[in-house]
Amino acid sequence: MAVVVPILVYGDLVISGPGISPAPPLRLNSNPPDGPQTVLYTLENDGAAGITMMPNLQCPADTVKAFPLILSSEIPAHSSRLLEIRFADRPGGPAAGDTVECFLTSNSTGVAIFIRLVTPAAQPPLGSLSLSASMSPQTSSQEASFIESDIEANLKLNLTLGGVTLGGDLGWGFTGPEFAIFNLSTFLGIFDIFDQFVFAAPFDVNGVSLAGGALSFVKKRVRLRFDLLGLKVDNLAILENSKFTNPFANNAQALDAVQTPTYRFGDILQLNGQTASGLPLRMLIGICADPAQANLIKKRFFSGRVCDSKALNFTVSRLTVGPLSLGAVQISSSMEFRPGAPLRGVLSLGTTLLGLVNAFTTASFDPQGIALQFTLLSLAQPAQALSISLTDKLSLSGILLRFSVNVAPSRLSFLLRGSPNGLDEVSATLLLPLGSGRLFATLSLTGAGTVSLSQLSINWNQELGRLRTNANVAFSLHGLQQAQVNFTLIL
């Protein structure tokens, strides 16, 4: 489960998730006792045609290991898919307190993910209390007509008693309670158990409370993990109201979901291990559950969504092999099967050229054709990047160029994105550390073949002991677009 932190990326693909500006850096524990940290990101296709996402994530050498769990996935028009990425620090890498910049590319869209290394606390904190306020003027072509504002509070609590950790995640807004998530985690013998209950209120696309705003039971999720003779088993069982979605289209749909819920069961099994020769293998099986489907309530999202069927139908099977080293070349491959859909395969190759850049080629193929993506990333720092995407007809789909200029302690980054129609985006981002805080300022020009000024955003985040602050303001050609401030107190 993760918090949705949106970032606008112009084009057909919108990437959102923790660590992407204007959000504060993703906090990653140094030498985490529980292994790699899994983080969820959403990739939303807001175009009129389906696209094949082929994510590529690179971090500076000897800093952070990052591995997307999906090499390729089809995203239908006006739909979204989840991308799980596992992060872990490298031994002898950056010290606690350092911030690492990684770069995620897919389909000629790219975003920087900032990761802050932190030392795990000897005793986990009791929880956190967050308060945020936002304001967005509703504008006409001439001037602001009125202002929409919102104040939200979020309380997280954790209590450990006799090896059992009880947790709560509670959210409120102007309309009252928005969600309540209760969880229990413990370790029994060889089994690592995580049990979760989710209650939520229904909202429409404008954030208006529906069906009286009352909380209702939405889902229960039980995750069981254990190691069996070197084979890592991860099983997620989900009981869910399949009618509950976010956002709802209207009040009638929300009332139907709350008053006459339809509960369905699904299961996602993952097996991770190595052959006797050391070849990594990972298998995923979904029974009436799809791990790639976005599963949302307001301000929270989860991996895996059940299907709307009484029968426990087979949904998806995926086999991933690698990464495997053959000389200087890293090879990864996966095959995915879904009933009623053609077999899909992905082959990814990566190597280092002249000791200067990392070069990657990803090919996604099915009976309809092959889609290709080529990416070049600088070896020392993935601030320099070139990504070229080709369609299944091997014609140019898009191109992305990103480069940075370091003037210690600041950094100025430029991004250019184009398509066969011409230049679609030009942006410049200034990163300036100031004391214990960081300032981001981004100027964006967008269009379709010809660009024009579209947005200026300024973001500030700072940590003051147990208090974390984040402020963001965005301007368009018509004036103020949005202002937001957030305070989080670690308890």
The DSSP-derived string for 273-337 is EE-TT--EEEEEEEESEEEEEEEEETTEEEEEEE-S-SS--EEEEEEEEEEEEETTEEEEEEEEE
β partners of residue 386: 376, 401
pLDDT in tens, 474-487: 888 878 888 888 88
pLDDT for the residue 10: 35
Quick one: tokens of 45?
């296709």
Say if CB 152 and CB 131 are below 8 A apart.
Answer: yes
pLDDT for the residue 77: 76
Buried-state track 144-155, b at ≥16 Cβ within 10 A, e below 16? eeeeeeeebebe
- The span from the CA of 366 to the CA of 347, in Å, is 12
- The span from the CA of 185 to the CA of 128, in Å, is 18
pLDDT for the residue 146: 63
Pick 35 or 106 by higher pLDDT.
Answer: 106
Q: How far is CA 68 from the centre of its chain?
A: 10
Domain limits, the chain = 162-321
pLDDT for the residue 35: 67
Quote the longest CA-to-CA distance of the chain. Answer: 69
- The span from the CA of 134 to the CA of 152, in Å, is 9
Quick one: tokens of 21?
């500006």
| Position 144 confidence tier, pLDDT thresholds 50, 70, 90 | very low
Q: Is 259 helix (H, G, I), strand (E, B) or coil?
A: helix
Q: What percent of the chain has pLDDT over 90?
A: 11
pLDDT at 224 over 80: yes
| Position 219 confidence tier, pLDDT thresholds 50, 70, 90 | very high
pLDDT at 204 over 50: yes
The whole-chain average pLDDT of the chain stands at 81
Say if CB 64 and CB 29 are below 8 A apart.
Answer: no
- The span from the CA of 252 to the CA of 79, in Å, is 23
- The span from the CA of 80 to the CA of 51, in Å, is 11
Q: First and final CA of the chain: distance in angstroms?
A: 21
> In 10 A of CB 33, how many CB atoms?
6
pLDDT in tens, 363-413: 887 777 777 777 776 655 666 778 887 766 677 778 888 888 887 788 888
Among 27, 102, 34, smallest CA distance to 63 is for 102
pLDDT in tens, 2-55: 333 333 333 467 888 888 876 778 888 877 666 678 888 888 887 777 777 778
- The span from the CA of 95 to the CA of 92, in Å, is 8
pLDDT at 104 over 80: yes
